[in-house]
Amino acid sequence: MSVIRKYLAAEIYAATLFVFMAFLGLFAFFDLINELGDLGKGTYRLQHALLFVALSIPTHIYELSPIAVLIGTLYALSRLAGNSEYTAMRAAGLSPIATSRLLLRIGMGFAVLTFLFGELIAPFADRIARQLKLEATSAVVAQEFRTGLWVKDDGRFVNIREVLPDATLVGVRIFEFDRDYRLLSIADAKSGRFSGDGIWELQDITKTHFKPQKVSVENELALQWRSVLTPDILSVLFVQPERMSAWNLYHYARHLGDNQQKSERYEIAMWKKLIYPIAVLVMMALALPFAYLHVRAGGVGVKVFTGIMIGIFFHMLNSLFSHIGLLQGWAPIYSAAMPSVLFLATAVLTMWWVERR
């Protein structure tokens, strides 16, 4: 069994690596074409575009993992079936359950790599890529409204006009209210920089106090502002939640919950990040029935094309259930897990049907 496992692993790893290289080459080409339109903005040159494309590759690896593993496994098993090698393995006592266990062991490596890319490598590379482009094009990270960003922080409402690539805040206004939402003060700072431990160092502050009998104004050169907001939390506002790590999404969802704001979108994204590596194993299970279909039933090319269609359908369904769950108020874990559960059930039913043909 050990020899069969090593042989299957070698075939699946080689086929999946080839699929990854083909997909990544295609996506890198499209990314480069998309970046050519920004050449000449500020100091953004071809070398910056190439580096941006290279830093985007980890995100593509994470996003393409299920479909690449599905196609690679499907191709490897179909080729073995076409050469009657899988038939010989079955004659040697390799049952469908034993094959499923082998695929599970082989797929664990893919699942771990997918988790590491999604949680550590891809978010870091994506953040560096965005910072590189923003610095080169002299752009601002985000402006949600014409007046900038608005964030609720405990009993305060914070308006940030600009956030620079190094997480420096420009034009910070802090509106502080009491429990009855009566305005207590407005602090207007020229800039702010995060110093760690929940502390922002604000510069050039003008603070206006509103009291029952009078209004007073005071100026300060520097002021420490303690807040639950961090550069990581603010970064969630500037990128798609699907591109953030589950850890940052968890903290931002808690921040929204603590401030009585809707957090379902970020909770769904967090659960999707946690479940996505398991989807790699589900895709491998879905490829197993193809090993029991002889080549004359369709051919390796048709089976690979079928795998591509299944992978595309999975991505569409994954996105669809996220939106449906958000609209219908489903529990975030259900919205995130439903596509994988449906595909796993399809794999089991297909295997049952193939075994009884």
Question: Confidence band (pLDDT; 50, 70, 90) for 80?
Answer: confident
Q: Please tell me the pTM assigned to this model.
A: 0.76
Of 305 and 68, the structure prediction assigns the larger pLDDT to 68
Question: Confidence band (pLDDT; 50, 70, 90) for 40?
Answer: confident
Of 356 and 145, the structure prediction assigns the larger pLDDT to 356
Residue-level pLDDT at 299: 66
Q: Which of 112, 110, 103 is nearest to 344 (CA)?
A: 103
Output b/e per residue, 63-93; b: 16+ Cβ within 10 A: bbbbbbbbbbbbbbbbbbbbeebbeebbeee
Question: Confidence band (pLDDT; 50, 70, 90) for 245?
Answer: confident
Question: Confidence band (pLDDT; 50, 70, 90) for 277?
Answer: very high
- Give per-residue pLDDT as tens, 291-307: 776 544 456 777 778 88
- Give per-residue pLDDT as tens, 323-338: 898 888 889 999 999 9
Partners of 226 in beta bridges:
199
Question: Confidence band (pLDDT; 50, 70, 90) for 243?
Answer: confident
Residue-level pLDDT at 139: 52
Q: What does R_g of the chain's alpha carbons equal in angstroms?
A: 26
Residue-level pLDDT at 237: 60
Res 178 pLDDT > 90: no
What percentage of the chain has pLDDT greater than the value 70?
92
Give me the mean pLDDT over the 268-276 stretch: 92
Res 256 pLDDT > 80: no
- Give per-residue pLDDT as tens, 56-67: 999 999 999 999
Residue-level pLDDT at 352: 83
- The count of C-alpha atoms lying within 13 angstroms of the C-alpha of 206, restricted to the half-sphere facing its C-beta, is 4
Question: Confidence band (pLDDT; 50, 70, 90) for 238?
Answer: low
* Cα separation of the two ends of the chain: 26
Quote the CA–CA distance of 110 and 114 in Å, as a whole number: 6
Pairing label, strands 199-210, 183-196 = antiparallel
Residue-level pLDDT at 297: 47
Of 187 and 179, the structure prediction assigns the larger pLDDT to 187
For the ranges 63-72, 118-127, 144-153, which has the lowest average pLDDT? 144-153
- Average pLDDT across the chain, whole number: 85
- Give per-residue pLDDT as tens, 210-228: 988 888 899 999 989 888 7
The residues, any chain, with a CB within 8 Å of residue 10's CB and separated by 6 or more, are: none
Q: What angle do CA 183, 188, 189 make, to 5 degrees?
A: 145
- Identity (one letter) of the amino acid at 318? N
Give me the mean pLDDT over the 13-40 stretch: 93
Question: Confidence band (pLDDT; 50, 70, 90) for 138?
Answer: low
Res 142 pLDDT > 50: no
**Structure-block tokens of residue 204:** 């050039």
- Give per-residue pLDDT as tens, 88-114: 887 777 788 888 889 999 999 999 999
Res 143 pLDDT > 60: no
Edge-to-edge strands, sheet with 199-210: 149-153, 156-163, 169-177, 183-196, 199-210, 215-226
The residues, any chain, with a CB within 8 Å of residue 334's CB and separated by 6 or more, are: 325
